[in-house]
């Protein structure tokens, strides 16, 4: 899902000399306007005919891309599952445990599209602590009247995706687990049957520290979620 840390995760993967990930290829609507265009795009990837700025010219053992759940994947799940199975595609589910943090990131990123806090430019990812501090100064106000249902919908989408594609060769990686334990990257390398390398990324996390520092109406949010299944999101998770 968008704003789940997947951009950071992909830069870590692309830091491996034998991985070539082509980025968010289905961000372009013409590539997902129907099933035929989706299959054609997939064929181009796995026939090594798709060249993007993220791909590399080195000796690639693993070729792939990043696919958001709202980019045609769920709507055509049966046909795509068949394709994955036929072509032997390995799937990495990259998910976020704390959907409240994801919501904060979504709202902050949406605000910056108009405010353009960094020298009049909108950026979704930053590469210095100074840039991260500038963007983190904006504290969104969260709509508590729909908060529980919004979080429920986010979790539901992730659960459905895991259920739909459970029969694929896959691994599940959670953003929070990777932040706390870099060993998770070794598990991904082993899953992709790659030589182990120390991987790094230039991206810098924007919202550090407890959520109470990044939500303007924190007390309202805290009151709204206390006693619900999402109360766990209020606690420090890493």
Instruction: Give residue 60's pLDDT.
Output: 81
Nearest one of 136, 115, 137, 112 to 124, comparing CA atoms: 112
Instruction: Give residue 236's pLDDT.
Output: 74
Instruction: Give residue 198's pLDDT.
Output: 94
| Average pLDDT over the chain, rounded to an integer | 93
Domain boundaries, the chain: 6-234
Average pLDDT over residues 205-227: 95
* pLDDT tens-digit map of 188-200: 999 999 999 999 9
Q: Is residue 138 very low, low, confident or very high in pLDDT (cuts 50, 70, 90)? A: very high
Q: Is residue 53 very low, low, confident or very high in pLDDT (cuts 50, 70, 90)? A: low
Nearest one of 182, 232, 190, 227 to 211, comparing CA atoms: 232
Query: pLDDT at residue 52 above 90?
Result: no
Kindly report the CATH number that applies to the domain delimited by 6-234. 3.40.50
Q: Is residue 58 very low, low, confident or very high in pLDDT (cuts 50, 70, 90)? A: low
């Amino acid at each position: 899902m968008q704003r789940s840390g997947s951009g950071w995760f992909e830069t870590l993967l692309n830091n491996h000399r034998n991985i070539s990930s082509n980025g968010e290829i289905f961000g372009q609507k013409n590539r997902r306007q129907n099933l035929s265009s989706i299959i054609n795009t997939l064929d181009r990837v796995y026939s090594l005919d798709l060249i993007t700025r993220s791909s590399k010219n080195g000796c690639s053992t693993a070729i792939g891309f990043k696919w958001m759940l709202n980019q045609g994947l769920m709507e055509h799940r049966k046909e795509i599952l068949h394709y994955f199975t036929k072509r032997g595609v390995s799937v990495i589910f990259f998910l976020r445990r704390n959907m409240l943090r994801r919501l904060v990131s979504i709202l902050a990123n949406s605000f910056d599209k108009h405010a353009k806090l960094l020298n009049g430019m909108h950026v979704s990812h930053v590469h210095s602590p100074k840039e991260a501090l500038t963007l983190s100064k904006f504290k969104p106000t969260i709509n508590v009247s729909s908060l529980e249902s919004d979080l429920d919908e986010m979790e539901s989408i992730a659960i459905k995706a895991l259920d739909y594609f459970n029969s694929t060769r896959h691994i599940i990686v959670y953003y929070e687990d990777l932040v706390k334990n870099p060993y998770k990257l070794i598990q991904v390398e082993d899953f992709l049957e790659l030589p182990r390398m120390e991987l790094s990324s230039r991206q810098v996390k924007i919202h550090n520290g407890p959520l109470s520092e990044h939500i303007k109406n924190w007390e309202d949010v805290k009151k709204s979620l206390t006693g619900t299944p999402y109360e766990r999101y209020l606690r420090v998770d890493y």
